[in-house]
Structure 1
Amino acid sequence: MKTGIGTRSVFYLIAYLFVLVMAYPIVLMVLSSFKSTAEIFTSPLSLPEVFSLEPYRKLWELVPFQDYIWNSVFVSVVTVALILLFSSLAAFYLARFSFAWSGFLYFFFLIGLMIPLKLGIVPLFILMKNIGLTNSLWSLILIYTASGIPISVFILTGFFRTLPIELEEAARMDGCNHFQVFWRILLPLIRPALGTVMIINFISAWNDFFFPLIFIQDEAAKTIPIGMLGLFGEYEADWSMIFAGLTLSSLPMIAVFLVASKQFMEGLTAGAVK
């Protein structure tokens, strides 16, 4: 018994150390956002002498940061909504219906996990230019949706296949059609998988730098990663503003993770215990 308690204490100690190591950069970023640039360089690891909101005021007044936030929120939320809609329908179809080319269709989605979308950046740019979506947030939404569907279908198909078929049979005996079985019976049971898909794709769309750099030139349409690039001058940078922007940009991701963390953890550990 004593050995078990000692082993558990060691595990807790390791977990606390891991949390400390992971949280320290975040705490340092937040504290630095309340300092001046000079104080950041002279006392980078200390608490601010005075907790000043001046970096946030300058960020809000000198840079259209509110536009960056709105653009990132719009792109990420719409992308996640489209991915959840299309990937859940596709996964339900693949998991519950048998047909001659179901294996090929499932493999077609898996190919999307193997081939990086960035390899097709030139055809993608030509396509977006031809349909008039360059310098538009919808170009990012379409690209993120296409890149997020393969991993989402892979995750959700596995979850749908774990659900007992008797649930569907009972629902159909009560008069439910295919969509009602999907929407009312099965979808609520795979909330852990939906939470996992939501967090993965939200973070991917929120943090992406590459595609906004290629497709967005208008200042009013820039997302946070590209907008933050403008805070770095050719010869100097206002690091207090940069840390303030990083702090603000991290808040939505933290909020999304806190909302869906339970489902995310259940989704990652599903199948580990019978």
Structure 2
Amino acid sequence: MTLAATAPTTPSGERIVIRRGRRQTGVHISLTVLALLGLAPYLFMLITALKTNQQYNQSFWAISFPLHWENFGTAWVQVQPYLVASLTVAVVSAVGIIAVSLLAGFVFARFRFPGRTLLYTLIAALMMVPSIASLIPLFLMMRDFQLLNTMAVLILPQIAGGAVLGTILMRSYIEGIPQSIFEAAMLDGAGPTRLFRSIVLPLSFPVIGTVLLVTIQGVWNDFFWPLLTVTDNSLRTVSVGLLFFQGQSGTDFGPMFAGYLIASLPLLILFTFFSRYFLAGVQGGLPGSH
């Protein structure tokens, strides 16, 4: 009968293991606390959305029974037009930004032409111009083009502004694609159009997902421009529409918080499905490399 060999342990080694375990426990506790703090507003919205005004006044923080799920139906009727307007602006803006910035990024990353560096520097310099500085000229331009109170006044500035960041992200990402892939394709007779369609577009899904999320988040959170340029209630985006919804339901807390919760769900669902591409695009990796 033989005894299995065991690795010798020393007091210093045990102290290192204990110290490492305590450090990991501290990290887990800290991350749990941060997650709970981040989720606390949504939990409060959900609890409050299921209350009547009487329940809200009697139990501010706690769950109160019976739960009033009909508040979501009331909120949906009023918030639904704002969601449709926001989705329309977000989708059209995202498609326009991705099309413009992907083509521009491909040209800046893979072509050499006179003035290339200067032109890209001017585009990058636009990142340093605060949006508030161009607000009045942009408003006057939209007024002269008679685009106020139309869907175009919400979409065109989003495309123009978002294409700047999109071009920078696309160019940096496309430059990270190995040159050998392009050289092999060109040896097979592929031209610029084929390179873009068969190589750049399929490999750029991560950065496209990043630009898509940034664009939709920007549209969803944009408040001052839609408030300034749109007065038609059917054209109001969700950020401005919730302001008017709050004015209409300011004394009815259940539907009001239900409306806030419904308005936040599209971003949550979108990030859930595109988070992998978003993280890969930020890290500059290719699909399947993470």
Q: Is 1:38–2:80 an aligned residue pair?
A: no
Letter in 2 for 1:185: I
Q: Is 1:155–2:169 an aligned residue pair?
A: yes
Instruction: Using the TM superposition, name which of 248-257 and 118-127 deviates more.
Output: 118-127
Match of 1:50 among 51, 60, 66: 66
Instruction: Using the TM superposition, name which of 132-141 and 11-20 deviates more.
Output: 11-20
Using the TM superposition, give the Cα deviation of residue 247 of structure 1 relative to its aligned residue in structure 2, in angstroms. 0.8
- Confirm or deny: 8 A CA contact 2:97 2:166 kept in the other structure: yes
> What is the TM-score with the length of structure 2 in the denominator?
0.86
Ranges in structure 2 where 5+ consecutive residues have no aligned partner: 1-15
Letter in 2 for 1:7: R
After the TM superposition, which parts of structure 1 deviate over 6 Å for at least 4 consecutive aligned residues? none
The 1:110/1:199 distance shift into structure 2, 3 A limit, reads same
User: 2:134: which partner in 1?
Assistant: 120
1:145-179 CA deviation, whole Å, 9 max, x = no partner? 11111111111111111111111111122232212
1:10-48 CA deviation, whole Å, 9 max, x = no partner? 322222221111111111112211112332233221113
2: distance between equivalents of 1:183 and 1:81?
16
Structure 1 vs Structure 2 CA RMSD: 2.2
2: distance between equivalents of 1:235 and 1:140?
26
Q: Is 1:27–2:47 an aligned residue pair?
A: no
The 1:221/1:234 distance shift into structure 2, 3 A limit, reads closer
1: distance between equivalents of 2:88 and 2:45?
25
> What is the TM-score with the length of structure 1 in the denominator?
0.91
Letter in 2 for 1:253: L
User: 2:199: which partner in 1?
Assistant: 185
Identity of aligned residues (%): 28
Match of 2:231 among 199, 209, 217: 217
Letter in 2 for 1:93: V
2: distance between equivalents of 1:24 and 1:241?
19
The 1:30/1:235 distance shift into structure 2, 3 A limit, reads closer
User: 2:283: which partner in 1?
Assistant: 269
Letter in 1 for 2:36: L
Using the TM superposition, give the Cα deviation of residue 5 of structure 1 relative to its aligned residue in structure 2, in angstroms. 4.2
Match of 2:149 among 104, 120, 135: 135
Match of 1:248 among 262, 265, 287: 262
The 1:35/1:91 distance shift into structure 2, 3 A limit, reads same
The 1:181/1:6 distance shift into structure 2, 3 A limit, reads farther
Classify the secondary structure of the residue corresponding to 1:123: helix
The 1:48/1:183 distance shift into structure 2, 3 A limit, reads farther
Q: Is 1:230–2:244 an aligned residue pair?
A: yes
